Amino acid sequence: MRETEAVLAAKHAIEICNACRYCEGYCAVFPAMELQRDFTLADMGYLANLCHNCNGCYHACQFAPPHEYGINLPKHFAEVRLESYAQFAWPQPLARAFERNGVVVAAVMALAITFVLLAVTLLVTPDVVFRPHLGPGAFYAVVSWGAMASVAGATLLFSIAALSVGAIRFWCATRSELTGPVTWRAVRRAATDIVTLRYLGGAGEGCNDADASFSLARRHAHHALAGGFALCFAATSVATVFDHFLGWVAPYGWFSLPVVLGTLGGISMITGCAGLMRVKLITDPAPVSRRVLGGDWALLALLLAAAVTGLGVLALRETSAMGVVMALHLGVILALFVLLPYGKFVHGVYRGAALLKAAVERDRHRPVA
Amino acid sequence: MIVRDDEPGHNGVMSEIVYDVAVIGGGNAALCAAITAREAGCSVIVLEHAPKAMRGGNSRHTRNLRAMHDAPTSVLTEAYLEDEYWDDLLRVTGGQTDEALARMTIRESQRVIPWMLGHGVRFQPSLTGTLNLSRTNAFFLGGGKALVNAYYLAAARLGIAIRYDSEVLSIDLDDGFARSVTVRSGGADTMIRARTFVASAGGFQANMDMLRASWGEAADNFLIRGTPYAQGTVLNSLLAQGVEAIGDASQFHAVAIDARAPKFDGGIVTRLDCIPFSIVVNRNAQRFYDEGEDVWPKRYAIWGRLVAQQPGQIAWSVFDAKCRALFMPSVYPAYRADTIEGLATQIGLDSAALRQTVDNYNAAVRPGSFNTQVLDDCATEGLAPPKTHWAQRIDTPPYYSYPHRPGITFTYLGVKVDAQARVIMQDGRPAANLFASGEIMAGSILGRGYLAGFGMTIGTVFGRLAGQGAARHARN
């Protein structure tokens, strides 16, 4: 990590934390910290991404402000995480997207929607866009399957490549003499930690949001959002198989597998977004960095828009509004795919990598002293 | 004129509300008493000297509680029975305890953890943790401040009135009967009335005038590890009104902490565990005690006093690269130099004198097999004072040094209580409606020394007793 104010503040704090260790029961950060005595700037990138921002350590800290040590790990780490996203981003010129991420996401979303709407209006006669379509191939009357699949596929592949390069850069930059070969045991442990969101749990009790009381609201909302996202992805995949390999052309009935998956997924995503937004609104602002809020809200807004417009297509698919709503939905999805490596979504990749590194190191080393 | 107690008052103004129970203090013992009394149906007010952000007295710096148990629990391993617990206490206090009170406390300690869990306190699972104390001590998840937070949330939920920034100047006693407390808040003094009172306002370790009375100018060089609000005001008020004192006013528990620590509230991170692997010199660069006399958990508590007795109340540990990783890291970096002379210059000692002390020590070190886990055979020969274990030559640069000053944890002087947490008057009778819990009465059981996690045990057990007793009295 570069020697920025945030990274130095985090390093100073973690050196005090390592002399205290009262918080070791909360999450993976403290056991990982205890394996070391001297910390590098790169270690801050690793520990910051291991932090799940549950705020437990802030509310429990006897050295939190107004104490002169002023320890505020969730805030320091949120800023270091943001800097790490930019530092490991690929290609580097696009790392600037993290500087004012809220604005960037909003702009990309607007551009993507405009692009799809323009493309639709230019390529298809208005008469076709604004007419109800029924029966097999109704959607493709507005946007052809080939156009949909090629634009979405190409952006998604590029984004996955960019995310992978970021993950590799993160791994190489934070690897230390403690990190050994990745074992299956460590992979299993990290996968469990990711899927269960173990550390949005503060030893099973949950996060500290509004105050020092524990709540599982954030964990449940994140499960709903991530699970809903997965269901929607599954719906799209099943529909692709139906359409492309079985020759069953969309739209599908209300109780068909893609529609059921997509409906449940969409509702789940909306519930999750609403839950996470609520947590953001009630959270004690003291351990929150304002620098990260734009990106946080932008990703939630993007995912919410994806779910709402997706359900909108379903609800309005037999009306004359379908064409426009579908263009909106495709615009949002395009923005989401484009922004995957250049917004808050990357937290999943780096946190996953950090959890894997922690699992590897925990198996090989004992706490110092 | 009468004003409501939640409005700004004027000097000497009497509050309109008469609470069933007024609890003085805002740490673990105070909150245990307040919650217990409230759950027994009483109206309760808590008067905390500190502002909200610094609430909780010394409890905010604690980490665990020592609890008797006859079988493994979710938070404790194996078993820890009454007799072993009592033996441990007897050993550290050298007999300066009250067996009946102590055994009662120990027995009650087996009932406190379920109660704590029921009021929101969370513990670390028993098999994790850096300190190997999981058999005898239950560790609070997040430490003492998290525990204090849990109790304040429970208190708010139960409808206990909580006043921060409210310093109790006196408990007004009338022949063993407490009538009111005088509270200073926002520059104005108010009297608050209640049917019963619980004094849980801690010791006097942050009162520099009181420390000076026993230790003279040396006291100015003492650091206070915990809360600056432990001023002993309530303790003094009670002792001046015929309450029986217990414990030696000149005694305190102190460890040798980093001299660069803040005057107050440096807490756990300022402790230094390097002494067994170092030599320790005073400002004349002379050694003054056997650094390797016994394992550190049995010796850390004597070093506060040892340093307090040195000129300027300061000492310097000196060790070399071989030893740097043998102890827990601490908050301030060690001074470091490639030569002993360079190190002496950095820390402001006479170079030749330190060189001489290190040379004398190195020459006296006898070969042995160094082992930090046992009382090993690495000792000096013909050196005064000797270093009897873990003595290795200081010969591998870079060389390191930490400055040490006495850091006071708590004081022993307190009010005498009985097994129902009632405060005892000088004539031997219990006060009618005055109870005490926590550090203000801990001297009744812990007259000397310290047993890790026992302060929180006393506070929790006596807090609950005081709350029960106060509620019983208030209802009659």
Considering only the beta carbons, identify the residue of A21, A67, A367 that sits closest to B265: A67
pLDDT at position A3 is 96
Q: Is residue A365 part of a domain?
A: no
pLDDT at position B134 is 82
ipTM: 0.93
Side chain identity at residue B179, one-letter code: R
- Is residue B246 within 8 A of residue B440, CB to CB? The reply is no
Q: Is residue A368 part of a domain?
A: no
Q: Is residue A366 part of a domain?
A: no
Q: How far off is chain B from A90, nearest CA to CA, in Å?
A: 37
Residue of B nearest to A69 (CA): B266
Domain end (from A33, A54, A89): A89
Whole-model pTM: value is 0.94
Is residue B12 very low, low, confident or very high in pLDDT (cuts 50, 70, 90)? low
Structural domain count of chain A: 2
Kindly tell me if the per-residue pLDDT of B13 is higher than 70.
no
pLDDT digits (tens, 9 = 90+) for B317-340: 999 999 999 998 899 999 999 999
Q: How far off is chain B from A132, nearest CA to CA, in Å?
A: 57
Same domain, A171 and A301: yes
User: CA B387, CA B372: separation in Å to the nearest integer?
Assistant: 14
Kindly tell me if the per-residue pLDDT of B476 is higher than 90.
no
User: CA A256, CA A127: separation in Å to the nearest integer?
Assistant: 30
Same domain, A38 and A168: no
Same domain, A169 and A55: no
Q: Is residue A70 part of a domain?
A: yes
- B61/A60 touch (CB, cutoff 8 Å), yes or no: no
With a CB cutoff of 8 Å and minimum separation 6, the contacts of A266 are: A228, A232, A307, A308, A310, A311, A314
User: CA A33, CA A36: separation in Å to the nearest integer?
Assistant: 6
Q: In the A/B pair of chains, how many CB contacts fall below 8 A?
A: 99
Could you list the residue range(s) of the whole structural domain that residue A321 is in? 93-353
Q: Does A212 touch chain B (CB under 8 A)?
A: yes
Q: Does A96 touch chain B (CB under 8 A)?
A: no
Contacts of B144 in chain A (CB under 8 A): 22, 62
Domain end (from A68, A89, A110): A89
Element (H, E) at B184: strand B177-185
Same domain, A224 and A102: yes
Contacts of A37 in chain B (CB under 8 A): 325, 329
Same domain, A274 and A190: yes
pLDDT at position A164 is 98
pLDDT in tens, chain A (369 residues): 999 999 999 999 999 999 999 999 999 999 999 999 999 999 999 999 999 999 999 999 999 999 999 999 999 999 999 999 999 999 999 999 999 999 999 999 999 999 999 998 888 887 888 888 888 888 888 888 888 889 999 999 999 999 999 999 999 999 998 998 999 999 999 999 999 999 997 667 899 999 999 999 999 999 999 999 999 999 999 998 998 889 898 889 999 999 999 999 999 999 999 999 999 999 999 999 999 999 999 999 999 999 999 999 999 999 999 999 999 999 999 999 999 999 999 999 999 999 999 999 998 888 876
Same domain, A61 and A77: yes
pLDDT digits (tens, 9 = 90+) for B367-380: 999 999 899 999 99
Q: Does B384 touch chain A (CB under 8 A)?
A: no
pLDDT at position A202 is 61
Same domain, A27 and A108: no
Contacts of A61 in chain B (CB under 8 A): 145
Rg (CA), chain A: 22
Q: Is residue A367 part of a domain?
A: no
Name beta bridge partners: B335. B401
Q: How far off is chain B from A202, nearest CA to CA, in Å?
A: 9
CATH class of B2-245+413-475: alpha beta
- A63/B269 touch (CB, cutoff 8 Å), yes or no: yes
Q: Is residue A46 part of a domain?
A: yes
| Alpha carbons within 13 A on the beta-carbon side of B29 | 30
Q: How far off is chain A from B356, nearest CA to CA, in Å?
A: 31
- Is residue B181 within 8 A of residue B458, CB to CB? The reply is no
Is residue B80 very low, low, confident or very high in pLDDT (cuts 50, 70, 90)? very high
Level-2 CATH architecture, domain B255-407: Alpha-Beta Complex (3.90)
Same domain, A147 and A82: no
Q: What pairing do the DSSP bridges indicate for beta strands B137-139 and B177-185?
A: unpaired
Q: How far off is chain B from A15, nearest CA to CA, in Å?
A: 7
Residue of A nearest to B146 (CA): A60
> What are the residue boundaries of the structural domains of chain B, listed by start?
2-245+413-475, 255-407
Same domain, A51 and A128: no
- B143/A34 touch (CB, cutoff 8 Å), yes or no: no
Same domain, A208 and A229: yes
Residue with tokens 């990260």: A292
pLDDT digits (tens, 9 = 90+) for B58-76: 999 999 999 999 999 889 9
Same domain, A246 and A183: yes
CATH code at position A171: 1.20.950
- Scanning B112-141 for CB atoms below 8 A from A yields 120, 122, 124-125, 128-130, 139-141
User: CA B207, CA B249: separation in Å to the nearest integer?
Assistant: 12
Same domain, A98 and A85: no
- B329/A69 touch (CB, cutoff 8 Å), yes or no: no
Contacts of A18 in chain B (CB under 8 A): 329
- Is residue B25 within 8 A of residue B203, CB to CB? The reply is no
Q: Is residue A55 part of a domain?
A: yes
With a CB cutoff of 8 Å and minimum separation 6, the contacts of B258 are: B266, B270, B271, B272, B330, B331, B332, B402, B403, B404, B405
Kindly tell me if the per-residue pLDDT of B4 is higher than 80.
no
| Alpha carbons within 13 A on the beta-carbon side of B282 | 15
Structure tokens at B259: 């001299």
- Scanning A18-37 for CB atoms below 8 A from B yields 18-26, 34, 37
Return the exposure string of B3-19: e unless at least 16 CB atoms fall within 10 Å of the residue's CB, then b. Answer: eebeeebeeebebeeeb
Is residue B19 very low, low, confident or very high in pLDDT (cuts 50, 70, 90)? very high
Is residue B3 very low, low, confident or very high in pLDDT (cuts 50, 70, 90)? very low
